Each structure stands twice: as C-alpha cells, then as structure tokens.
Amino acid sequence: MQKYKSKDWKDWIFERFGDKEKYIIRFNEQHAAYSIRSTNKKNETTIYFEFMNNEDNEVLYDVQFSENDKEDNFRWPSPFTVDKEYKPSFLSQLKAGTRLETSLFYNEKFINRLESEWLVIPLKNGWKEELNFIGTKIYRAKLKINGGNGTDWDMNEKYTFNLNDWESIKLIFGFGKSSEIFKCESMN
C-alpha cells in the first residue's frame, strides 16, 4: 500500500485524488462533503467523503459511492461506519464534544483497509447494482463487485423502512414492483 504524508482526512483527499488530469474534487459546504469524479465526462461514478461539519478534518461521517448524482441509482454507504474495530474511544468522543456514531478516524491502518476493501470497488473494479422499486421509490438495492467469484450479491441493502403504509401494502401484494440492473464502471 502507498504511504501517505497527510496528517488528516482533508489533506489525504487532496494527496490521494489531487491528480487534476484524473480527478475532479468538489466541496459541498452545505453538506460538509467532498465529491471525487473522474475527468472522463462519460464516467459518472462519484465517491463522497462526508464530514460531521465543515471544520472537521479528523473524523469522517461516511465514505460512499454512486454511479451518478441522479435519483435512479443507489448511493452505497460504507460498511466501515459501524465497524467495531474502529469504534471511537470515549476520549475521542469527549474531544469531538459529542457522542460519535462513526468510526472513521484518520490513521494509516484504516487508510490501507479503506483503499483495499472499499475504494477498490469504485476506483478499480466497478460493480453491478440491481434496484428494486415500488412505483418510483427504491426499496432494495443489491451490489455485486465486478471480478468477484461468487454467484450471490456482495451487498443486499433493504430500505423498506422508507416506505409509507400504502407503499408497504403495495409491496406485500406485489403491486407496482419493478427492477432495474445497472452496470457501473470504475473510475480508473
């Protein structure tokens, strides 16, 4: 794994994705999030680094990726957010002045794991996603990492809690259900 010189997340984002011939970095101040896109306009994959607030640079709220910014694709949240190995310590929570649910603290071990287990999907492998809808609302998303050996979906996210009562009844009886499969390209 590459060794980085940066000391916090924001410095790392610019060190890792600072090649202006390959990547475009944008900051959304309203959502305290950096987005990373390819300079290739045909590639719609985006990686998001979300912070708790604009001043924070030590703790990420989440790392996500998506095929595009449109509503018809799913935004894949990182499974690291709830990883017990990186659970924030009591002292870290005191320093932040709040109870932190995230576990994304900047350290070399975590960077290596993030690169090899999560960012490899949007950066190198690409993925296939199947979205299940009730009407126009996604109620389930499944992800398969390209190059995987298994026949099962690598991630199966169920979002039925976002459905209202009427949509839940429609789901139970199978009314208005549809599916769509997207082949999502890697950035590199």
pLDDT digits (tens, 9 = 90+) for 99-141: 445 557 788 888 888 898 899 999 999 999 998 999 888 888 8
pTM: 0.82
Pick the more confident residue, 68 or 15.
15
Burial (CB count within 10 angstroms: exposed 0-12, middle 13-18, buried 19+), residue 38: buried
For every residue of 141-186, DSSP letters joined together read EEEEETT---SS-SEEEE-GGGS-HHHHHHHHHTTTEEEEEEEE--
Q: Are 159 and 140 in contact (CB under 8 A)?
A: yes
The predicted-structure confidence for 56-99, as pLDDT tens digits, reads as follows 887 788 899 998 766 567 888 887 766 556 555 555 544 555 54
Sequence letter at residue 165: D
For every residue of 162-173, DSSP letters joined together read GS-HHHHHHHHH
Q: Are 46 and 37 in contact (CB under 8 A)?
A: yes
**How far apart, in whole angstroms, are the C-alpha atoms of residue 17 and residue 4?**
12
